[in-house]
A and B are shown apart, each in its own frame.
Chain A
Amino acid sequence: MRRSSAKPSLWVLAVREREADVIVVGGGPAGLAAASSCKEAGLEVLLVEREGSLGGILPQCIHTGFGILETKEDYTGPEFAEMLEKRARDLGVEILLDSYVSRLSQVGGCGASIEVLSPRGVETMRASTLIFSTGCRERNAFEIGITGDRPAGVMTAGTAQALMDLYGLLPGREVVVVGSGDVGLIMSRRFALEGAKVKAVVEITRYPGGLTRNVVQCLEDFGIPMLLSHAVLEVRGRKRVESVVVSEVDEKQGPVPGTESEIECDTLVVAAGLVPEAGLLEKAGAKIDPLTGGPFVNEFLETSLRGVFACGNVLVVNDLVDHAVEQGRLCAMSAKSLIEGTMRRPSAWKRAVPGENVRFVVPHLFSGDRDTVFYSRVRSPMRDCSLSFNEIDKEVRIRAAMPAEMVRVRIEGSLLSGVGEALTFEVRGWPKGKRG
Protein backbone atom coordinates (compact mmCIF):
# COMPACT_ATOMS: atom_id res chain seq x y z
CA MET A 1 0.00 0.00 0.00
CA ARG A 2 1.17 3.48 -0.75
CA ARG A 3 -0.27 6.85 0.12
CA SER A 4 0.98 10.38 0.42
CA SER A 5 1.46 12.02 3.75
CA ALA A 6 -1.59 13.87 5.00
CA LYS A 7 0.47 16.71 6.44
CA PRO A 8 3.40 18.29 4.67
CA SER A 9 6.58 17.09 6.33
CA LEU A 10 10.28 17.82 6.15
CA TRP A 11 10.71 14.38 4.63
CA VAL A 12 10.04 14.42 0.94
CA LEU A 13 9.73 10.69 1.15
CA ALA A 14 6.95 8.23 0.80
CA VAL A 15 4.98 7.26 3.85
CA ARG A 16 4.06 3.64 3.46
CA GLU A 17 2.15 1.13 5.49
CA ARG A 18 2.85 -2.49 6.06
CA GLU A 19 1.11 -5.28 7.90
CA ALA A 20 2.26 -8.64 9.19
CA ASP A 21 1.31 -11.26 11.76
CA VAL A 22 4.43 -10.53 13.76
CA ILE A 23 6.93 -7.70 13.73
CA VAL A 24 10.26 -8.40 15.39
CA VAL A 25 12.15 -5.27 16.42
CA GLY A 26 15.89 -5.93 16.63
CA GLY A 27 17.95 -8.47 14.65
CA GLY A 28 20.33 -9.72 17.32
CA PRO A 29 20.38 -13.33 18.51
CA ALA A 30 17.03 -13.15 20.34
CA GLY A 31 15.29 -11.39 17.47
CA LEU A 32 16.75 -13.73 14.83
CA ALA A 33 15.70 -16.79 16.84
CA ALA A 34 12.23 -15.32 17.38
CA ALA A 35 11.77 -14.43 13.70
CA SER A 36 12.94 -17.86 12.51
CA SER A 37 10.64 -19.67 14.93
CA CYS A 38 7.69 -17.49 13.87
CA LYS A 39 8.36 -18.31 10.23
CA GLU A 40 8.66 -22.01 11.04
CA ALA A 41 5.32 -21.81 12.82
CA GLY A 42 3.78 -20.52 9.60
CA LEU A 43 3.40 -16.88 10.62
CA GLU A 44 4.09 -13.92 8.39
CA VAL A 45 6.98 -12.17 10.07
CA LEU A 46 8.86 -8.94 9.47
CA LEU A 47 12.24 -8.41 11.11
CA VAL A 48 13.26 -4.77 11.54
CA GLU A 49 16.92 -3.98 12.30
CA ARG A 50 18.45 -0.54 12.76
CA GLU A 51 21.99 -1.53 11.70
CA GLY A 52 23.06 -2.46 8.19
CA SER A 53 23.77 -6.03 9.26
CA LEU A 54 22.32 -8.68 11.54
CA GLY A 55 23.59 -10.43 14.64
CA GLY A 56 23.50 -7.59 17.16
CA ILE A 57 26.62 -7.53 19.30
CA LEU A 58 27.74 -11.06 18.30
CA PRO A 59 29.82 -10.20 15.18
CA GLN A 60 32.28 -8.23 17.31
CA CYS A 61 32.51 -10.84 20.09
CA ILE A 62 35.28 -12.87 18.45
CA HIS A 63 35.92 -15.03 21.54
CA THR A 64 34.38 -18.45 22.03
CA GLY A 65 31.61 -19.41 24.45
CA PHE A 66 28.53 -19.04 22.28
CA GLY A 67 25.84 -21.64 21.71
CA ILE A 68 27.11 -24.33 24.06
CA LEU A 69 23.69 -25.14 25.53
CA GLU A 70 21.95 -24.83 22.16
CA THR A 71 24.36 -26.77 19.98
CA LYS A 72 26.76 -28.54 22.38
CA GLU A 73 29.51 -26.84 20.37
CA ASP A 74 31.63 -23.89 21.41
CA TYR A 75 31.28 -21.20 18.74
CA THR A 76 32.68 -17.70 18.45
CA GLY A 77 30.23 -14.78 18.32
CA PRO A 78 30.51 -14.16 14.57
CA GLU A 79 30.09 -17.86 13.78
CA PHE A 80 26.99 -18.16 15.95
CA ALA A 81 25.58 -14.96 14.43
CA GLU A 82 26.09 -16.24 10.89
CA MET A 83 24.34 -19.50 11.80
CA LEU A 84 21.32 -17.64 13.19
CA GLU A 85 21.25 -15.30 10.19
CA LYS A 86 21.55 -18.15 7.70
CA ARG A 87 18.64 -19.96 9.32
CA ALA A 88 16.45 -16.87 9.17
CA ARG A 89 17.37 -16.20 5.53
CA ASP A 90 16.93 -19.86 4.51
CA LEU A 91 13.47 -19.83 6.04
CA GLY A 92 12.66 -16.71 4.06
CA VAL A 93 12.13 -14.27 6.92
CA GLU A 94 11.55 -10.81 5.50
CA ILE A 95 14.35 -8.59 6.82
CA LEU A 96 14.46 -4.80 6.76
CA LEU A 97 17.94 -3.43 7.49
CA ASP A 98 18.92 0.20 8.20
CA SER A 99 15.47 0.59 9.68
CA TYR A 100 15.15 2.59 12.86
CA VAL A 101 12.02 2.25 14.94
CA SER A 102 11.20 5.72 16.23
CA ARG A 103 7.84 5.02 17.82
CA LEU A 104 5.88 2.13 19.19
CA SER A 105 2.23 2.29 20.09
CA GLN A 106 -0.35 -0.23 21.06
CA VAL A 107 -3.39 -0.52 18.86
CA GLY A 108 -6.85 -1.79 19.59
CA GLY A 109 -6.05 -3.41 22.92
CA CYS A 110 -3.78 -5.99 21.30
CA GLY A 111 -0.85 -5.78 18.92
CA ALA A 112 1.10 -2.72 17.97
CA SER A 113 2.09 -0.27 15.33
CA ILE A 114 5.58 1.08 14.80
CA GLU A 115 6.98 4.02 12.91
CA VAL A 116 10.10 3.09 10.96
CA LEU A 117 12.68 5.49 9.53
CA SER A 118 14.94 4.13 6.82
CA PRO A 119 16.45 5.06 3.45
CA ARG A 120 13.09 3.92 2.02
CA GLY A 121 11.34 6.73 3.86
CA VAL A 122 8.93 6.73 6.76
CA GLU A 123 6.82 3.65 7.15
CA THR A 124 4.07 2.65 9.52
CA MET A 125 3.89 -1.04 10.24
CA ARG A 126 1.14 -2.85 12.08
CA ALA A 127 0.95 -6.34 13.44
CA SER A 128 -1.32 -8.24 15.75
CA THR A 129 1.77 -9.24 17.74
CA LEU A 130 5.14 -7.58 18.20
CA ILE A 131 8.33 -9.08 19.57
CA PHE A 132 10.69 -6.56 21.08
CA SER A 133 14.35 -7.63 21.04
CA THR A 134 16.29 -4.38 21.05
CA GLY A 135 19.06 -5.54 23.37
CA CYS A 136 20.82 -3.28 25.82
CA ARG A 137 23.28 -0.41 25.92
CA GLU A 138 26.42 0.19 27.96
CA ARG A 139 26.65 2.48 30.92
CA ASN A 140 29.10 5.27 30.18
CA ALA A 141 31.77 7.14 32.15
CA PHE A 142 29.35 9.88 33.22
CA GLU A 143 26.79 7.43 34.53
CA ILE A 144 29.34 5.92 36.90
CA GLY A 145 30.41 9.32 38.17
CA ILE A 146 33.85 9.69 36.59
CA THR A 147 34.78 13.38 36.53
CA GLY A 148 37.72 15.44 35.31
CA ASP A 149 38.89 16.32 31.80
CA ARG A 150 37.15 15.19 28.66
CA PRO A 151 39.97 14.22 26.31
CA ALA A 152 39.95 11.62 23.53
CA GLY A 153 40.53 8.06 24.69
CA VAL A 154 37.55 7.48 26.97
CA MET A 155 35.24 4.86 25.49
CA THR A 156 32.94 2.02 26.40
CA ALA A 157 34.17 -1.56 26.04
CA GLY A 158 31.74 -2.16 23.19
CA THR A 159 33.13 0.78 21.24
CA ALA A 160 36.68 -0.43 21.83
CA GLN A 161 35.61 -3.91 20.71
CA ALA A 162 33.97 -2.62 17.52
CA LEU A 163 37.03 -0.49 16.68
CA MET A 164 39.39 -3.41 17.25
CA ASP A 165 37.51 -6.49 16.14
CA LEU A 166 35.32 -5.13 13.33
CA TYR A 167 37.39 -2.24 11.99
CA GLY A 168 40.90 -3.45 12.82
CA LEU A 169 41.96 -0.34 14.76
CA LEU A 170 43.86 -0.50 18.06
CA PRO A 171 42.08 2.10 20.22
CA GLY A 172 44.93 2.58 22.71
CA ARG A 173 48.33 1.38 23.89
CA GLU A 174 48.20 1.85 27.66
CA VAL A 175 44.79 0.98 28.97
CA VAL A 176 42.87 1.09 32.23
CA VAL A 177 39.62 -0.89 32.25
CA VAL A 178 36.75 0.05 34.60
CA GLY A 179 34.64 -2.95 35.57
CA SER A 180 35.54 -6.63 35.86
CA GLY A 181 32.42 -8.10 34.32
CA ASP A 182 32.90 -10.51 31.43
CA VAL A 183 32.92 -7.65 28.94
CA GLY A 184 35.78 -5.88 30.76
CA LEU A 185 37.76 -9.09 31.20
CA ILE A 186 37.43 -10.16 27.58
CA MET A 187 38.41 -6.74 26.29
CA SER A 188 41.46 -6.75 28.59
CA ARG A 189 42.62 -9.96 26.91
CA ARG A 190 42.00 -8.54 23.45
CA PHE A 191 44.07 -5.45 24.25
CA ALA A 192 46.86 -7.60 25.70
CA LEU A 193 46.89 -9.94 22.68
CA GLU A 194 47.05 -7.02 20.26
CA GLY A 195 50.12 -5.65 22.03
CA ALA A 196 48.62 -2.97 24.26
CA LYS A 197 49.45 -2.84 27.95
CA VAL A 198 46.52 -3.21 30.30
CA LYS A 199 47.67 -1.33 33.40
CA ALA A 200 44.78 -2.39 35.62
CA VAL A 201 41.20 -3.61 35.75
CA VAL A 202 39.41 -1.51 38.36
CA GLU A 203 36.46 -3.14 40.15
CA ILE A 204 34.30 -1.25 42.62
CA THR A 205 33.00 -4.33 44.49
CA ARG A 206 34.99 -6.76 46.62
CA TYR A 207 34.85 -9.59 44.09
CA PRO A 208 35.39 -9.98 40.35
CA GLY A 209 32.24 -9.33 38.34
CA GLY A 210 32.85 -11.87 35.58
CA LEU A 211 32.99 -15.64 35.37
CA THR A 212 35.95 -17.31 37.03
CA ARG A 213 37.06 -18.79 33.74
CA ASN A 214 37.40 -15.28 32.33
CA VAL A 215 39.35 -14.11 35.38
CA VAL A 216 41.71 -17.06 34.81
CA GLN A 217 42.04 -16.85 31.04
CA CYS A 218 41.81 -13.11 30.46
CA LEU A 219 43.71 -11.64 33.41
CA GLU A 220 45.87 -14.30 35.09
CA ASP A 221 47.13 -15.71 31.77
CA PHE A 222 48.37 -12.24 30.81
CA GLY A 223 49.48 -11.00 34.23
CA ILE A 224 46.94 -8.16 34.27
CA PRO A 225 46.39 -6.78 37.80
CA MET A 226 42.87 -6.36 39.19
CA LEU A 227 42.15 -3.66 41.77
CA LEU A 228 39.17 -4.83 43.83
CA SER A 229 37.23 -2.31 45.95
CA HIS A 230 38.63 0.49 43.81
CA ALA A 231 37.05 3.13 41.62
CA VAL A 232 38.25 5.49 38.90
CA LEU A 233 37.43 8.99 40.14
CA GLU A 234 38.87 11.29 37.54
CA VAL A 235 40.25 11.44 34.01
CA ARG A 236 43.23 13.70 33.35
CA GLY A 237 44.59 14.80 29.98
CA ARG A 238 44.53 17.71 27.54
CA LYS A 239 43.93 16.22 24.10
CA ARG A 240 44.32 12.54 24.88
CA VAL A 241 43.92 10.71 28.18
CA GLU A 242 47.18 11.07 30.12
CA SER A 243 46.22 9.42 33.39
CA VAL A 244 43.33 8.41 35.60
CA VAL A 245 42.96 8.85 39.35
CA VAL A 246 41.86 5.75 41.25
CA SER A 247 41.10 5.29 44.90
CA GLU A 248 39.97 2.62 47.30
CA VAL A 249 36.29 2.59 48.14
CA ASP A 250 34.48 1.83 51.40
CA GLU A 251 31.52 -0.52 51.87
CA LYS A 252 29.15 2.08 50.48
CA GLN A 253 31.39 2.32 47.40
CA GLY A 254 32.42 5.86 48.34
CA PRO A 255 36.08 6.87 47.85
CA VAL A 256 38.35 6.55 50.90
CA PRO A 257 40.20 9.88 51.30
CA GLY A 258 43.97 9.61 51.20
CA THR A 259 44.03 6.43 49.08
CA GLU A 260 44.07 8.19 45.71
CA SER A 261 46.76 7.33 43.21
CA GLU A 262 47.37 8.19 39.58
CA ILE A 263 47.78 5.60 36.82
CA GLU A 264 49.34 6.80 33.58
CA CYS A 265 47.48 5.59 30.51
CA ASP A 266 46.21 6.80 27.15
CA THR A 267 42.86 5.02 27.19
CA LEU A 268 40.07 4.43 29.67
CA VAL A 269 37.73 1.61 28.77
CA VAL A 270 34.40 1.64 30.59
CA ALA A 271 32.82 -1.78 31.08
CA ALA A 272 30.47 -0.84 33.90
CA GLY A 273 27.32 -2.73 33.16
CA LEU A 274 24.50 -2.91 30.68
CA VAL A 275 21.04 -1.34 30.66
CA PRO A 276 18.09 -2.75 28.68
CA GLU A 277 17.00 -0.52 25.78
CA ALA A 278 13.39 -0.43 26.89
CA GLY A 279 12.73 3.27 26.21
CA LEU A 280 10.23 2.69 23.38
CA LEU A 281 8.32 0.16 25.45
CA GLU A 282 8.20 2.52 28.39
CA LYS A 283 6.98 5.40 26.24
CA ALA A 284 4.27 3.15 24.83
CA GLY A 285 3.08 2.58 28.39
CA ALA A 286 4.67 -0.80 29.25
CA LYS A 287 5.35 -1.37 32.93
CA ILE A 288 9.09 -1.48 33.65
CA ASP A 289 10.72 -3.52 36.43
CA PRO A 290 13.22 -1.26 38.22
CA LEU A 291 15.19 -4.37 39.25
CA THR A 292 15.97 -5.49 35.70
CA GLY A 293 15.46 -2.24 33.81
CA GLY A 294 13.41 -4.30 31.36
CA PRO A 295 9.66 -4.74 30.98
CA PHE A 296 7.40 -6.52 33.40
CA VAL A 297 6.35 -9.81 31.69
CA ASN A 298 4.15 -12.84 32.22
CA GLU A 299 5.09 -16.46 31.48
CA PHE A 300 4.45 -15.86 27.75
CA LEU A 301 7.10 -13.10 27.94
CA GLU A 302 4.27 -10.72 27.16
CA THR A 303 4.70 -7.19 28.49
CA SER A 304 1.88 -5.25 30.15
CA LEU A 305 0.93 -4.23 26.59
CA ARG A 306 -1.18 -7.08 25.19
CA GLY A 307 0.39 -8.73 22.17
CA VAL A 308 3.78 -7.10 22.76
CA PHE A 309 6.46 -9.60 23.82
CA ALA A 310 10.07 -9.10 24.89
CA CYS A 311 13.16 -11.32 24.72
CA GLY A 312 16.93 -11.13 24.94
CA ASN A 313 18.82 -8.36 26.70
CA VAL A 314 15.97 -5.86 26.61
CA LEU A 315 14.01 -8.28 28.79
CA VAL A 316 16.87 -9.10 31.12
CA VAL A 317 20.62 -8.74 30.61
CA ASN A 318 21.71 -12.31 29.82
CA ASP A 319 25.20 -13.73 30.12
CA LEU A 320 24.58 -16.65 27.74
CA VAL A 321 23.38 -16.15 24.19
CA ASP A 322 21.58 -19.47 24.55
CA HIS A 323 19.16 -17.94 27.05
CA ALA A 324 18.47 -15.01 24.70
CA VAL A 325 17.72 -17.50 21.92
CA GLU A 326 15.48 -19.53 24.22
CA GLN A 327 13.53 -16.39 25.14
CA GLY A 328 13.20 -15.49 21.46
CA ARG A 329 11.71 -18.87 20.70
CA LEU A 330 9.27 -18.64 23.59
CA CYS A 331 8.10 -15.23 22.30
CA ALA A 332 7.48 -16.81 18.88
CA MET A 333 5.43 -19.63 20.40
CA SER A 334 3.46 -17.11 22.44
CA ALA A 335 2.79 -14.95 19.38
CA LYS A 336 1.55 -18.04 17.53
CA SER A 337 -0.83 -19.08 20.29
CA LEU A 338 -2.14 -15.53 20.63
CA ILE A 339 -2.79 -15.27 16.89
CA GLU A 340 -4.42 -18.69 16.78
CA GLY A 341 -6.55 -17.86 19.78
CA THR A 342 -5.22 -20.68 21.93
CA MET A 343 -3.47 -18.49 24.51
CA ARG A 344 -5.22 -18.84 27.83
CA ARG A 345 -4.53 -16.17 30.39
CA PRO A 346 -5.55 -16.96 33.96
CA SER A 347 -8.16 -14.86 35.72
CA ALA A 348 -5.52 -13.91 38.28
CA TRP A 349 -1.75 -14.10 37.78
CA LYS A 350 0.54 -15.40 40.50
CA ARG A 351 3.69 -13.36 41.14
CA ALA A 352 7.34 -14.51 41.16
CA VAL A 353 9.22 -12.33 43.63
CA PRO A 354 12.88 -12.07 44.66
CA GLY A 355 13.71 -12.89 48.28
CA GLU A 356 16.96 -13.46 50.17
CA ASN A 357 20.08 -12.90 48.03
CA VAL A 358 18.08 -12.75 44.79
CA ARG A 359 18.22 -9.56 42.75
CA PHE A 360 15.36 -10.19 40.33
CA VAL A 361 13.14 -12.88 38.87
CA VAL A 362 11.89 -13.01 35.27
CA PRO A 363 9.14 -13.66 34.23
CA HIS A 364 7.28 -11.73 36.90
CA LEU A 365 3.86 -13.38 36.49
CA PHE A 366 2.80 -16.99 36.01
CA SER A 367 -0.41 -18.95 35.82
CA GLY A 368 0.61 -22.30 37.27
CA ASP A 369 -0.96 -24.04 34.27
CA ARG A 370 2.33 -25.12 32.72
CA ASP A 371 6.05 -25.67 33.28
CA THR A 372 7.79 -22.31 33.40
CA VAL A 373 11.43 -21.28 33.05
CA PHE A 374 12.55 -18.54 35.44
CA TYR A 375 15.74 -16.49 35.24
CA SER A 376 17.27 -14.81 38.26
CA ARG A 377 20.58 -13.57 39.60
CA VAL A 378 22.08 -13.56 43.07
CA ARG A 379 23.06 -10.29 44.75
CA SER A 380 26.37 -11.48 46.16
CA PRO A 381 28.53 -14.57 45.58
CA MET A 382 27.73 -17.65 47.66
CA ARG A 383 29.28 -21.10 47.83
CA ASP A 384 27.37 -24.30 48.36
CA CYS A 385 23.85 -22.96 48.42
CA SER A 386 20.47 -23.60 46.92
CA LEU A 387 17.66 -21.83 45.20
CA SER A 388 14.66 -22.57 47.35
CA PHE A 389 11.05 -21.59 47.82
CA ASN A 390 8.92 -21.42 50.96
CA GLU A 391 5.71 -21.99 49.06
CA ILE A 392 6.57 -25.19 47.17
CA ASP A 393 8.64 -28.29 47.78
CA LYS A 394 11.52 -27.59 45.45
CA GLU A 395 15.15 -26.91 46.01
CA VAL A 396 17.87 -26.53 43.41
CA ARG A 397 21.38 -27.00 44.69
CA ILE A 398 23.96 -24.50 43.41
CA ARG A 399 27.62 -25.21 44.15
CA ALA A 400 28.76 -21.70 43.39
CA ALA A 401 26.35 -18.84 42.80
CA MET A 402 27.66 -15.54 41.57
CA PRO A 403 26.09 -12.40 40.19
CA ALA A 404 27.82 -13.03 36.84
CA GLU A 405 25.94 -16.26 36.28
CA MET A 406 22.24 -16.27 35.60
CA VAL A 407 20.35 -18.84 37.64
CA ARG A 408 17.92 -20.56 35.27
CA VAL A 409 15.35 -22.90 36.71
CA ARG A 410 12.46 -24.77 35.14
CA ILE A 411 9.59 -25.36 37.55
CA GLU A 412 6.91 -27.93 36.83
CA GLY A 413 3.35 -26.72 36.35
CA SER A 414 2.18 -29.30 38.90
CA LEU A 415 4.20 -27.47 41.57
CA LEU A 416 3.36 -23.97 40.36
CA SER A 417 -0.37 -24.67 40.40
CA GLY A 418 -0.16 -25.14 44.16
CA VAL A 419 1.21 -21.63 44.73
CA GLY A 420 -1.17 -19.10 46.26
CA GLU A 421 -0.50 -15.49 45.35
CA ALA A 422 3.28 -15.39 45.13
CA LEU A 423 6.35 -17.57 44.82
CA THR A 424 9.48 -16.28 46.56
CA PHE A 425 12.90 -17.08 45.12
CA GLU A 426 15.63 -17.32 47.75
CA VAL A 427 19.25 -18.39 47.64
CA ARG A 428 20.38 -19.74 51.00
CA GLY A 429 23.27 -21.77 52.33
CA TRP A 430 23.01 -25.54 51.82
CA PRO A 431 22.68 -27.30 55.20
CA LYS A 432 25.89 -29.17 56.08
CA GLY A 433 25.65 -32.89 55.58
CA LYS A 434 22.45 -32.73 53.54
CA ARG A 435 22.48 -34.74 50.34
CA GLY A 436 21.42 -33.15 47.10
Chain B
Amino acid sequence: MAERKERVTCIVCPVGCKIEVSVKDGEVLSVEGNACVRGVEYAKEECTSPKRVLTTLVSVRGGVLPVTSVKTTKPIPKELVSRAQWEISKVTLEAPVPIGKLVLGNLLGTGVDVVATRSVEARKAVGHR
Protein backbone atom coordinates (compact mmCIF):
# COMPACT_ATOMS: atom_id res chain seq x y z
CA MET B 1 0.00 0.00 0.00
CA ALA B 2 1.25 3.46 -0.86
CA GLU B 3 2.14 5.99 1.75
CA ARG B 4 -0.71 8.40 2.48
CA LYS B 5 -0.73 11.72 4.33
CA GLU B 6 -3.55 12.57 6.66
CA ARG B 7 -4.23 15.97 8.18
CA VAL B 8 -5.52 15.86 11.72
CA THR B 9 -6.63 18.75 13.89
CA CYS B 10 -5.29 18.08 17.36
CA ILE B 11 -7.94 18.37 20.05
CA VAL B 12 -5.87 17.53 23.12
CA CYS B 13 -5.83 21.21 24.03
CA PRO B 14 -7.52 24.32 22.62
CA VAL B 15 -4.46 25.33 20.61
CA GLY B 16 -5.69 22.95 17.88
CA CYS B 17 -2.42 22.10 16.08
CA LYS B 18 -2.73 21.07 12.45
CA ILE B 19 -0.82 17.80 12.37
CA GLU B 20 0.23 15.90 9.29
CA VAL B 21 0.56 12.15 9.67
CA SER B 22 2.16 9.83 7.14
CA VAL B 23 0.63 6.37 7.22
CA LYS B 24 1.74 3.25 5.31
CA ASP B 25 0.19 -0.20 5.74
CA GLY B 26 -1.59 0.93 8.90
CA GLU B 27 1.75 1.98 10.39
CA VAL B 28 2.43 5.59 11.29
CA LEU B 29 5.70 6.70 9.66
CA SER B 30 5.89 10.29 10.77
CA VAL B 31 3.99 12.97 12.67
CA GLU B 32 4.61 16.66 11.98
CA GLY B 33 3.21 20.02 13.06
CA ASN B 34 2.50 19.20 16.70
CA ALA B 35 3.56 21.74 19.30
CA CYS B 36 3.79 19.23 22.15
CA VAL B 37 4.31 15.50 22.69
CA ARG B 38 0.66 14.91 23.51
CA GLY B 39 -0.12 15.75 19.89
CA VAL B 40 1.91 12.83 18.57
CA GLU B 41 -0.16 10.24 20.34
CA TYR B 42 -3.43 11.92 19.46
CA ALA B 43 -2.61 12.23 15.75
CA LYS B 44 -1.53 8.58 15.51
CA GLU B 45 -4.72 7.47 17.19
CA GLU B 46 -7.02 9.72 15.14
CA CYS B 47 -5.65 8.12 11.96
CA THR B 48 -5.81 4.54 13.14
CA SER B 49 -8.50 4.30 15.85
CA PRO B 50 -10.24 7.61 16.65
CA LYS B 51 -11.48 8.09 20.20
CA ARG B 52 -13.68 10.61 22.00
CA VAL B 53 -14.36 11.59 25.59
CA LEU B 54 -18.13 11.40 26.03
CA THR B 55 -19.75 13.94 28.34
CA THR B 56 -23.46 13.59 28.96
CA LEU B 57 -26.10 13.39 31.72
CA VAL B 58 -27.50 10.85 34.15
CA SER B 59 -30.84 11.13 35.96
CA VAL B 60 -30.75 11.78 39.70
CA ARG B 61 -33.64 10.95 42.02
CA GLY B 62 -34.27 13.17 45.03
CA GLY B 63 -31.62 15.74 44.20
CA VAL B 64 -31.70 19.54 44.07
CA LEU B 65 -31.21 19.04 40.32
CA PRO B 66 -32.81 16.19 38.33
CA VAL B 67 -29.58 15.33 36.49
CA THR B 68 -25.87 15.22 37.04
CA SER B 69 -23.24 15.58 34.36
CA VAL B 70 -20.92 12.63 33.70
CA LYS B 71 -17.83 11.89 31.63
CA THR B 72 -15.91 8.88 30.46
CA THR B 73 -12.65 8.79 32.42
CA LYS B 74 -10.77 8.16 29.18
CA PRO B 75 -11.64 8.56 25.51
CA ILE B 76 -13.70 5.69 24.06
CA PRO B 77 -13.73 4.46 20.43
CA LYS B 78 -15.62 6.97 18.31
CA GLU B 79 -17.88 4.30 16.81
CA LEU B 80 -19.12 3.39 20.31
CA VAL B 81 -20.25 6.92 21.22
CA SER B 82 -23.95 6.55 20.41
CA ARG B 83 -24.20 3.08 22.01
CA ALA B 84 -22.42 4.44 25.07
CA GLN B 85 -24.81 7.39 25.26
CA TRP B 86 -27.74 4.92 25.19
CA GLU B 87 -26.13 2.75 27.88
CA ILE B 88 -25.43 5.72 30.16
CA SER B 89 -28.96 7.10 29.71
CA LYS B 90 -30.40 3.96 31.37
CA VAL B 91 -28.71 4.78 34.69
CA THR B 92 -30.53 6.57 37.51
CA LEU B 93 -28.65 7.66 40.62
CA GLU B 94 -29.94 8.48 44.09
CA ALA B 95 -29.02 11.83 45.61
CA PRO B 96 -26.71 12.87 47.12
CA VAL B 97 -24.25 12.35 44.29
CA PRO B 98 -20.66 13.32 45.13
CA ILE B 99 -18.44 14.62 42.35
CA GLY B 100 -16.28 11.82 40.96
CA LYS B 101 -18.82 9.09 41.90
CA LEU B 102 -18.54 5.96 39.75
CA VAL B 103 -21.65 5.83 37.58
CA LEU B 104 -20.78 2.90 35.31
CA GLY B 105 -17.72 0.67 35.43
CA ASN B 106 -16.11 -0.79 32.31
CA LEU B 107 -18.42 0.92 29.82
CA LEU B 108 -19.33 -1.51 26.99
CA GLY B 109 -16.27 -3.59 27.84
CA THR B 110 -13.90 -0.75 26.98
CA GLY B 111 -12.29 -0.74 30.43
CA VAL B 112 -13.28 2.92 30.71
CA ASP B 113 -15.42 4.13 33.61
CA VAL B 114 -18.12 6.78 33.69
CA VAL B 115 -17.96 9.21 36.63
CA ALA B 116 -20.10 12.10 37.85
CA THR B 117 -18.64 15.55 37.14
CA ARG B 118 -21.07 17.52 39.28
CA SER B 119 -22.13 16.94 42.85
CA VAL B 120 -25.87 16.99 43.41
CA GLU B 121 -27.07 17.43 46.96
CA ALA B 122 -30.20 15.72 48.22
CA ARG B 123 -33.36 17.78 48.11
CA LYS B 124 -34.68 18.67 51.52
CA ALA B 125 -37.86 16.71 52.20
CA VAL B 126 -39.77 19.65 53.65
CA GLY B 127 -42.11 21.32 51.20
CA HIS B 128 -41.69 18.68 48.52
CA ARG B 129 -43.75 15.71 47.56
Contact = CB atoms under 8 A, between A and B. Distances in A.
Nearest to B67: A168
B76 interface: no
B14 interface: yes
Interface in A208-236: 211-213, 216-217, 221
A78 B69 contact: yes
A212 B17 CA distance: 9
Interface of A: 59, 62-65, 68, 74, 76, 78-79, 82, 164-168, 193-194, 211-213, 216-217, 221, 319-320, 399-400, 405
Contacts of B10: 213
A165 B14 contact: no
A167 B66 CA distance: 6
Contact of B9 (A216, A319, A320): A216
Interface of B: 9-14, 16-18, 33, 52-57, 59, 65-67, 69, 71, 78, 81-82, 85, 99, 117-119
Nearest to A399: B18
Given A76-B71, A165-B69, A221-B81, A212 B16 contact: yes
Contacts of A194: 56-57
Nearest to B118: A78
Name the 3 nearest CB pairs between A and B, nearest first.
A62-B69, A168-B67, A78-B118
Contact of B67 (A79, A166, A221, A320): A166
B16 A319 contact: no
A165 B53 CA distance: 17
Contacts of A76: 55, 69, 71, 117
B11 A213 contact: yes
Most-contacted residue by chain B among A74, A213, A319 (CB, 10 A): A213
A193 B85 contact: yes
Contacts of A212: 9, 16, 18
Contacts of B14: 65, 68, 211, 213, 319-320, 405
B78 to A, nearest CB: 7
B9 A64 contact: no
A165 B16 contact: no
25 contacts: A62-B57, A62-B117, A63-B55, A64-B55, A65-B14, A76-B55, A76-B71, A78-B117, A79-B117, A79-B118, A164-B57, A166-B67, A168-B66, A168-B67, A212-B16, A213-B9, A213-B10, A213-B11, A213-B16, A216-B9, A217-B11, A319-B14, A320-B14, A405-B14, A405-B16
Query: Is chain A's binding surface mostly helix, strand, loop or mixed?
Result: mixed
Contact of B118 (A68, A82, A320, A399): A82
Nearest to A166: B65
Given A76-B71, A166-B67, A221-B81, A59 B118 contact: yes
Contact of B16 (A64, A79, A166, A400): A400
Given A82-B99, A194-B57, A221-B52, 12 more contacts: A63-B55, A64-B55, A74-B12, A79-B118, A82-B119, A165-B57, A165-B69, A167-B66, A212-B18, A216-B11, A320-B14, A405-B14
B109 to A, nearest CB: 21
A211 B16 contact: yes
B94 to A, nearest CB: 15
B52 A217 contact: yes
Contact of A165 (B11, B52, B67): B67
A31 to B, nearest CB: 19
B52 A64 contact: no
Contacts of A221: 52, 78, 81
Contacts of A165: 57, 67, 69
A387 to B, nearest CB: 15
A79 B119 CA distance: 9
Nearest to A66: B14
A82 B118 CA distance: 8
A324 to B, nearest CB: 13
Nearest to A402: B16
Nearest to B56: A193
A167 B67 contact: yes
A79 B99 contact: yes
Nearest to B50: A221
Contacts of A405: 14, 16
A226 B66 CA distance: 32
B112 to A, nearest CB: 14
B15 to A, nearest CB: 8
B117 A167 contact: no
B57 A168 contact: yes
A81 B23 CA distance: 41
Contacts of B13: 68, 74
A288 to B, nearest CB: 28
Contacts of B57: 62, 164-165, 168, 194
A194 B55 CA distance: 11
